[in-house]
Amino acid sequence: MQHIVCYSGGETSGIVAVEVVARYGPENVILINHDINPWVEHWDIKRFKTEVADYLCIPITYANMAGWDQKDQFDVCMEAKAFKVGVHPLCTNRIKTAPFHKWLADTFPATPGSCREDVTIYYGFEAGETARVERRRSILQDKGYRTCFPLAEWPNLIGSTRDIGIDPPETYEVWKHANCAGCLRAGQQHWYVVYCRRPDVWAKAKHAEEVIGYSILRVNNKPMFLREMEPKFAAMQQLGIQADEKTPAATFWAAARKILGAKPVEDKAGCSF
């Protein structure tokens, strides 16, 4: 029986790796990861992935996009001339999903409509992510694979990788997730942090919008280009509004409204500003 952990580099995927190994033994577990361009993936995420894998005595197996060390999320989107496929960021498919599905089909081929009983794929989705869990379960089931979501389905798990002596990625001190800087899934709060802390990423994202001709963000359900956001973000930065994602979105935007006295506009996440 092969237990394949989708090992993203976030803390939840680390917790899942620890728990799956505790149940089934390291000899039966594969940690599958996708290297991401280090310009947008923080170095400490790579440190975290390596430390957890070393603790478990399992090598990381990589299913990488060709040219991953040369291309970031903006490059793959500019090549395709689109930021999204439907509602899903195109970069996720190019950098993670497509390489994983190719590796899976090559390594553990399955017949669509059937189900391999000797392979289970594990994700670090949490209990509150019901729609995400069911969507991923359905996709993999159609391809012929079983899935498991330990954080949503198993009791008595460790609460943090600190429980095994490994600090989570330091990105959590600023960012909500261990995703790329300049995440194409994120809303205004994330992009304000990018504007303040990663002006190089901000500049490339603006360039990508110009090349593609469409915006990354939508505000009040309308396209809003980053260049249009700059006056507001510059004012927020000048007034000292904290540039992080640790503050809950509603609290963050309430503070910004109070300080700026701006007319409310809706954030992508449903928060007004």
pLDDT-flagged residues of the chain (< 50): 263-273
The CA–CA distances, whole Å, from 237 to 90, 133, 260 equal 30, 37, 11
Q: What angle do CA 246, 216, 168 make, to 5 degrees?
A: 30
Written as six digits, the tokens of 218 are 């939508």
Whole-structure pTM over 0.75, yes or no? yes
pLDDT for 267 equals 45
Q: List 60's β-bridge partners, or say none.
A: 31
Written as six digits, the tokens of 261 are 């006295």
CB-based contact 166:14 (threshold 8 Å): yes
Q: What is the largest CA-CA distance in the chain?
A: 59
- Of 151, 144, 172, 141, residue with least CA distance to 244: 172
Torsional class of 202: left (φ above 0), alpha (ψ -120 to 50), beta (otherwise): alpha
pLDDT for 34 equals 94
- Tally of residues, the chain: 273
pLDDT for 111 equals 87
As to burial, measured by CB atoms within 10 angstroms (0-12 exposed, 13-18 middle, 19+ buried), residue 239 is exposed
List pLDDT tens digits, range 148-161: 999 999 999 999 99
List pLDDT tens digits, range 16-71: 999 999 999 999 999 999 999 999 999 999 999 999 999 999 999 999 999 999 99
CB-based contact 13:43 (threshold 8 Å): no
